[in-house]
Amino acid sequence: MTEIITSDRRMRDIIQLAKTVAQSKATVLIQGESGTGKELMACLVHENSTRAARPFVAINCAAIPENLLESELFGYERGAFTGAVSSKAGKFEFANGGTLLLDEISEMDIRLQAKLLRVIQEGEVDRIGGRKPVPVDVRIIATTNRNLGDCVKEGSFREDLFYRLNVVNLTMPPLRERIGDVRLVSEHYASIFSEKNGKSITGFSAAALAMLESHVWPGNVRELENVIERAVITAAGNVVEDLDIAIERRQISQTLDATAGLGTLGSAAGLHDKSWNPGQTLDDIERSVILEALQYHHGNRTHTAKALGISIRTLRNKLADYRRIGINV
């Protein structure tokens, strides 16, 4: 059973809403920064629905190349393309009667978005090369760490699909906006990792807690979970000390009022004394942060995208934009 650890009012309201809408077949859009618990929330919706005994199928739209994503989602008939030696059902068919999680939906190609919209509207899928549509009964949950409304404005996401998906919107607050959860989540994971590693951790020293609570957590709960796992492993005694907390020093002193996006970007690069100069647009700032992070990671795009909490595809698109304006990346 999915357990979402929180004492935050906003989070509790979101969980309550999620449990209520779970009963319906409504499509749910879960937004939030990387590591805030979007997938966890999707599981919670599924588990609290009448579909709980049926499959929960997840697919990451950013991790799979476009043509493969199409056949993964919709399936194909034998001979539909070179290499299609036998027929294969798609994720929609596998999820029949249950829930399909479309992770990082903003990264789905616009052409596939049209096909997805059709499936949602008609309740049936066309396998690639198939002659007749297959009826499917699937509850769709989509997640994104980008603002999908902005993607619509930019023209990279279909407005009609956005409205279809956004029937219920659950927006996960970043961890830095619910610092009260840091202690709770830390204790939760300390006990899990303590048991897993055969240790008997009983808690945190005051200095260790202070360190955890003053960090801005650009990677949100996932980052905290990783920090706690390492701390539990390195702790010499039964108490996690500040020395065990591996957070980069330069990030610790950052103030907690870092606002969404900018704070995250600034801390990911970790190099800025000043985050804005007169005349700079948000795009300028984003560009300079991305280029700096890329340099920091010696041009490694996978590491850069991960550090910035964006998909590789998003990073690639941005770099392509920069090349168009003459930046050599």
Least Å distance, CB 175 to Mg ion, is: 15
Applying CB under 6 A, the span of 134-142, 208-216, 220-228, 300-308 interacting with ligand ATP comes to 220-228
Identity of the residue numbered 328: N
Task: Give whichever of 225 and 244 is closer to ligand ATP, judged by the CB atom.
Answer: 225
Considering the rule CB under 5 A, would residue 40 count as an interface residue with Mg ion?
no
What does the per-residue mask of binding to ligand ATP show for 40-79, with x meaning CB under 6 A? x---------------------------------------
Least Å distance, CB 29 to Mg ion, is: 13
Least Å distance, CB 14 to ligand ATP, is: 10
CA distance 300 to 292: 12
Least Å distance, CB 38 to Mg ion, is: 5
Considering the rule CB under 5 A, would residue 222 count as an interface residue with Mg ion?
no
Applying CB under 5 A, the span of 30-38, 78-86, 153-161, 306-314 interacting with Mg ion comes to 30-38
Considering the rule CB under 5 A, would residue 63 count as an interface residue with Mg ion?
no
- 46: partner contacted, choices Mg ion, ligand ATP, none (Cβ within 5-8 A by kind): none
CA distance 321 to 328: 11
Least Å distance, CB 265 to Mg ion, is: 19
Task: Give whichever of 21 and 221 is closer to ligand ATP, judged by the CB atom.
Answer: 221
Considering the rule CB under 6 A, would residue 19 count as an interface residue with ligand ATP?
no
Considering the rule CB under 5 A, would residue 39 count as an interface residue with Mg ion?
yes
What does the per-residue mask of binding to ligand ATP show for 130-159, with x meaning CB under 6 A? -------------x-x--------------
Applying CB under 6 A, the span of 2-10, 118-126, 131-139, 154-162 interacting with ligand ATP comes to 2-10
- 176: partner contacted, choices Mg ion, ligand ATP, none (Cβ within 5-8 A by kind): none
Please give the size of the binding site for Mg ion, defined by CB under 5 A: 2
Q: Residue by residue, what is the 3-state secondary structure of the chain?
A: CCCCCCCCHHHHHHHHHHHHHHCCCCCEEEECCCCCCHHHHHHHHHHCCCCCCCCEEEEECCCCCHHHHHHHHHCECCCCCCCCCCCECCHHHHCCCCEEEEECHHHCCHHHHHHHHHHHHHCEECCECCCCCEECCCEEEEEECCCHHHHHHHCCCCHHHHHHHCCEEEECCCHHHCCHHHHHHHHHHHHHHHHHCCCCCCEECHHHHHHHHCCCCCCHHHHHHHHHHHHHHHCCCCEECHHHCCCCHHHHCCCCCCCCCHHHHHHHHCCCCCCCCCCCCHHHHHHHHHHHHHHHCCCCHHHHHHHHCCCHHHHHHHHHHHHHCCCCC
Question: Is 151:106 a contact under the CB 8 Å cutoff?
Answer: yes
Considering the rule CB under 6 A, would residue 225 count as an interface residue with ligand ATP?
yes
Question: Is 37:188 a contact under the CB 8 Å cutoff?
Answer: no
Of all residues in this chain, which one has the CB nearest to ligand ATP in the complex?
A: 37
Query: Using CB under 5 A as the criterion, which residues of the chain lie in contact with Mg ion when the complex forms?
Result: 38-39
Query: Using CB under 6 A as the criterion, which residues of the chain lie in contact with ligand ATP when the complex forms?
Result: 4-6, 32, 34-40, 143, 145, 185, 221-222, 225
